[in-house]
Amino acid sequence: MKSGIYSRRAILRGIGASIALPLLDVVPTFAQAPLTASSISTGINRLAYLYFPNGIPRGIWYPEETDQNGRLIKLNKWMSPLEPHKSNIIIPSNIWTPEGNGHVNGTPTWLTGYDYDSRAVNAGGVSADQIVARHLREETLLPSLELSLKGEGYFSNSLPRNAISWSTPDRPMAREIEPRTIFDRMFNTQTGGTSNRSVMDAVLADARSLGNVVSSADKLRLDEYFESIRALERRIEFAERQSEEMREDGALTDTLVAPTPGIPADHESYIRLMMDLMIMAFQSDATRVCTFMLDHGQSNRYFNFIPEVKGTWHALSHYQNASGMTEDDDGTTSWESVEQKRTMYAEVVRWHHHQVAYLLERMKSIREPNGNSLLDNSMVLMGGAIGDGNEHDASNLPTLIAGGGGGTIRTGRYIEHKEPTDLAGIHLALMQRMGVSLDRLGSADTSYQGLT
């Protein structure tokens, strides 16, 4: 490692704008402390929560084949997009939330472990992500990021259905739904009368001057990073142009709504752009904690762009209601049988697994100074507050854990629990791996021990 010691703040102070840089052999984290041999060997750990609404058809969140030790041999057809990444995930069974679940009570308390008091608009406690963010607030440019897709449907403006991150029991964190806003928070180019483009060019030129002092591996890492920034910006600019043109033409997005300025009209492009922004935030060490709502807690989004699927997500979740009548939330879509509707519902779940597979593949492709991938140095928890969508039950919640947690998690396993296992205990285990000294969260007074 080079002997020189730099900090991001010192390097970029004279530019008049801030930009987060990736972890380098020669450049420490945003805090002024230098890297040590220990921190390089273990890496920097990150924590991401992906909230998945509307539950699942019972029985599709289990592997098709495991060995006697629970090692994942083959995933089922509905989880098959994750097959290339089965060695990087854990699927725990029989997960539940003892106090709060469902669209209204479960969404706001998924990360607090309590029940929701709708009269007081109170989630019972501070959410797990914000507890970690406070612990790391001096370490990174941003304490945390709270991302969400723009909600669609009747309940899109409901506060409890749109809040999983709480800074206090009665104060939800604001969600970021526009890619441009998130990009500007990480790469702050709003500087006086100078254009965003010229400031960004100046920042990148200044940062590239590090090439004189960093290793050849770091030079390659910087080049890849700068190109990623430009690629992200180009995608954001394209989405902005496309949405404006579609609004002028009166066209609809693939989810059958009018386009929103700055938000990609193609739903897959939207979710993947948001995922790439989260990856960039982790790669640059702009933050180490992120929540991402894949939709609001009672999403009525249309997924008709999936072949053989029709109707809104929430209506599909009530798959037992299929008599041939118009039973959709919009009063226009009908289904011929329970099996047809259940299959469409499962296809929506599988589509989201494709998006998570994209996230994991991207994280695996990014190599960090300690030799591990970004996924090795991260923990990603995907799940929701409803088990079977038709029953709205609190048991067998869809839950998936990905990433190595800096070498602290043994992945590639299915963990079968005979007794209901509190989700809040898993939150505790992940928080402790982020350095938080806490032995209770909501309904859990013990940390989950199944990750090693």
pLDDT (0 to 100) of residue 43: 64
Establish how many alpha carbons lie within 13 A of residue 242's alpha carbon, considering only the half-sphere containing its beta carbon: 16
Identity at 74, one-letter amino acid code? K
User: What residues are paired with 302 via a beta bridge?
Assistant: 312
**C-alpha dihedral sign at 56, 59, 63, 68:** positive
Provide the residue-wise pLDDT of the chain in tens; the chain has 452 residues. Answer: 333 334 443 334 334 445 667 777 654 444 434 434 444 345 689 999 999 999 999 999 999 999 999 999 999 999 999 999 999 999 999 999 999 899 999 999 999 999 999 999 999 999 999 999 999 998 888 999 999 999 988 888 899 999 999 999 999 999 999 999 999 888 765 544 444 555 556 556 665 666 666 677 777 777 788 888 888 989 999 999 999 999 999 999 999 999 999 999 999 999 999 999 999 999 988 999 999 999 999 999 999 999 999 999 999 999 998 876 655 567 789 898 999 999 999 999 999 999 999 999 999 999 988 889 999 999 999 999 999 999 999 999 999 999 999 999 999 999 999 999 999 999 999 999 999 999 999 999 999 999 99
pLDDT (0 to 100) of residue 238: 94
Question: DSSP letter at 95?
Answer: E
Please give, one letter per residue, the 3-state secondary structure of 238-268. HHHHHHHHHHHHCCCCCCCCCCCCCCCCCHH
DSSP E strands: which ranges in 169-248? 171-172, 187-188
User: Beta-carbon neighbour count of residue 9 at 10 Å?
Assistant: 12
Record the tokens describing residue 311, joined without a space.
Answer: 């109707």
User: Which residue shows structure tokens 């380098």?
Assistant: 24
Record the tokens describing residue 28, joined without a space.
Answer: 């420490």
Rg, the chain, Cα only: 22
User: Which residue shows structure tokens 């997500």?
Assistant: 313
User: Which residue shows structure tokens 């995608």?
Assistant: 235
SS3 label, residue 233: helix
Picking from 297, 326, 292, the residue whose alpha carbon sits closest to that of residue 310 is 326
At CB < 8 A and 24+ separation, what contacts does 65-74 make? 66/414, 69/413, 70/413, 70/414, 70/415, 70/416, 71/412, 71/413, 71/414, 72/412, 72/413, 72/414
Question: DSSP letter at 400?
Answer: E
| CA–CA gap between residue 316 and residue 336 (Å, rounded) | 13
Cβ distance 242 to 265 under 8 Å? yes
Backbone angles phi, psi at 289, to 5 degrees: -135, 130
Question: DSSP letter at 117?
Answer: B
| CA–CA gap between residue 110 and residue 442 (Å, rounded) | 10
Please give, one letter per residue, the 3-state secondary structure of 273-284. HHHHHHHHHHHC
CA 94 to chain centre: 22
pLDDT (0 to 100) of residue 16: 46
First CA to last CA across the chain, in angstroms? 31
User: Which residue shows structure tokens 């690629």?
Assistant: 231
| CA–CA gap between residue 441 and residue 109 (Å, rounded) | 11
Cβ distance 164 to 110 under 8 Å? yes
With 0-12 CB in 10 A as exposed, 13-18 as middle and 19+ as buried, what is 103?
Answer: buried
SS3 label, residue 392: coil
| CA–CA gap between residue 71 and residue 94 (Å, rounded) | 17
Q: Tell me the domain boundaries of the chain.
A: 40-433
CATH class of domain segment(s) 40-433 = alpha beta
Backbone angles phi, psi at 179, to 5 degrees: -55, -40
Cβ distance 293 to 149 under 8 Å? yes
In this prediction the pTM is 0.90
| CA–CA gap between residue 324 and residue 336 (Å, rounded) | 5
Torsion on CA atoms 128, 363, 10, 232, rounded to nearest 10: -110
Q: Which helix (H) or strand (E) holds 360?
A: helix 338-365
